[in-house]
C-alpha cells in the first residue's frame, strides 16, 4: 500500500493517495511513487494538477474585475485565502442552474467570493442569504458584493450560523433550492440537519472541504475539523432522506472534496 501521512508531516505525499487507488505494489520515496510498471513524480503532478485547473478556469471560469478584486481584498484586509477556486465557483453555478435555483443559503461568507458566483447564477428575482460570524469579514464581503453590483440579490447576516439558522427557520419562508455549507467544520452535521429542515425534495446541499487532504481516512484523528466532516460523511452514508456523493479534487487548492446531496422525494 502507498504511504499516506495522516498527521500532515509530509504534505506532498497525501497527493499520492489520488494516484494509487488501483495499484497493488508500490513504494513512495522522495516524492516518487514507484509501482510495478512505472515511477510517477508526484511533485510534478501536483504542478500538473494546478496547471490543468488553471487551463479549465481560463476556458470556463475566467474571473472578472469584481472577482479578482475580491481575492485581492482578502490580503489587503487581513482575511485568509480560503475562498473556493474559480472552477469551484463555476461548479456551484452549474449546480444552481441545473436545479433552477432561485433561493440560496450559504454558510460562511468570508469576503463574498463564492457569494458572488452564487448570486450571479440567480434569476432577476432570486436571493442568496449568506451567514458570516466575523463582523470584519462581513464588512469586507458587503463591499465586494456591492462592487459586483449584487447588493440587491444578497442578504448577508452576521452571527453564528447555529444562532441564525433557527431564526431563518422561524421566518417560515419558502424552502431553499440550494444550500452551500462552507463555515467552520466541527458542526457540519448540525448544519446539514438544519439544511434539511430548510429544504424541499430536490434541494441540493453542497458541503465543502470534506476530504481534508485525505485526513478523513484517519479514524483516530483528534483534529476537530476532521472529526466534524467524518461525522457528516457518515451521516450522509446512512441517511435515507438524501442521495449523496463526494467529488474529491486536486487543483489550485489543496487536495479536498465537496459532498453533494439531493433531498429525496421519498425516503430511500
Q: Is 96 or 110 the residue whose CB approaches ligand SAM more closely?
A: 110
Q: Does 135 bind ligand SAM (CB under 6 A)?
A: no
Q: Does 192 bind ligand SAM (CB under 6 A)?
A: no
Of residues 139-178, which lie at the interface with ligand SAM (CB under 6 A)?
160-161
Q: Does 129 bind ligand SAM (CB under 6 A)?
A: no
Q: Does 66 bind ligand SAM (CB under 6 A)?
A: no
**Within 10 A of 64 (CB to CB), how many other CB atoms are there?**
10
Q: Does 183 bind ligand SAM (CB under 6 A)?
A: yes
Q: Does 215 bind ligand SAM (CB under 6 A)?
A: no
Q: Is 110 or 236 the residue whose CB approaches ligand SAM more closely?
A: 110
Who contacts 115 (Cβ-Cβ below 8 Å, separation ≥6)? 106, 109, 128, 130, 141, 145, 150, 154, 156
Task: Estimate to the nearest angstrom the gap between the alpha carbon of 7 and the chain centroid.
Answer: 22
Among 17, 54, 82, 157, binds ligand SAM (CB under 6 A): 82
Q: Does 84 bind ligand SAM (CB under 6 A)?
A: yes
Q: Does 110 bind ligand SAM (CB under 6 A)?
A: yes
In contact, 247 and 45? CB cutoff 8 Å: no
Q: What DSSP letter does each residue of 226-252 carry, written as one string?
A: HHHHHHHHHHHHH-SSEEEEEEEE-SS
Where do runs of H (alpha helix) occur along the chain? 16-19, 42-60, 65-76, 86-98, 113-120, 135-147, 161-170, 188-197, 224-238
Q: Which positions touch ligand SAM (CB under 6 A)?
A: 82-84, 107-110, 113-114, 131-134, 137, 160-161, 182-184
Amino acid at each position: 500500500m502507498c504511504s499516506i501521512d495522516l498527521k500532515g508531516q509530509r504534505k506532498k505525499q497525501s497527493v499520492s493517495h489520488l494516484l494509487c487507488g488501483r495499484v497493488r505494489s508500490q513504494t513512495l520515496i522522495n516524492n516518487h511513487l514507484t509501482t510495478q510498471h512505472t515511477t510517477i513524480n508526484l511533485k510534478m503532478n501536483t504542478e500538473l494538477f494546478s496547471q490543468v485547473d488553471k487551463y479549465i478556469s481560463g476556458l470556463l471560469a475566467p474571473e472578472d474585475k469584481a472577482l479578482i478584486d475580491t481575492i485581492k481584498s482578502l490580503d489587503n484586509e487581513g482575511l485568509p485565502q480560503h475562498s473556493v477556486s474559480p472552477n469551484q465557483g463555476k461548479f456551484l453555478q452549474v449546480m444552481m442552474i441545473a436545479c433552477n435555483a432561485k433561493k440560496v443559503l450559504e454558510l460562511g461568507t468570508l469576503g463574498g467570493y463564492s457569494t458572488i458566483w452564487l448570486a450571479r447564477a440567480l434569476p432577476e428575482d432570486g436571493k442568496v442569504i449568506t451567514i458570516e460570524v466575523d463582523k470584519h469579514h462581513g464588512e469586507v464581503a458587503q463591499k465586494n458584493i456591492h462592487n459586483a453590483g449584487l447588493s440587491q440579490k444578497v442578504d448577508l447576516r452576521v452571527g453564528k450560523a447555529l444562532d441564525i439558522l433557527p431564526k431563518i427557520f422561524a421566518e417560515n419562508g419558502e424552502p431553499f433550492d440550494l444550500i452551500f455549507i462552507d463555515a467552520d467544520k466541527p458542526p457540519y452535521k448540525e448544519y446539514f440537519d438544519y439544511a434539511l429542515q430548510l429544504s424541499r425534495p430536490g434541494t441540493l446541499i453542497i458541503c465543502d472541504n470534506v476530504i481534508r487532504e485525505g485526513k478523513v481516512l484517519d479514524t483516530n484523528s483528534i483534529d476537530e475539523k476532521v472529526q466534524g466532516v467524518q461525522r457528516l460523511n457518515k451521516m450522509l452514508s446512512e441517511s435515507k432522506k438524501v442521495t449523496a456523493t463526494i467529488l474529491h479534487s486536486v487543483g489550485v487548492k489543496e487536495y479536498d472534496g465537496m459532498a453533494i446531496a439531493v433531498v429525496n422525494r421519498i425516503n430511500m
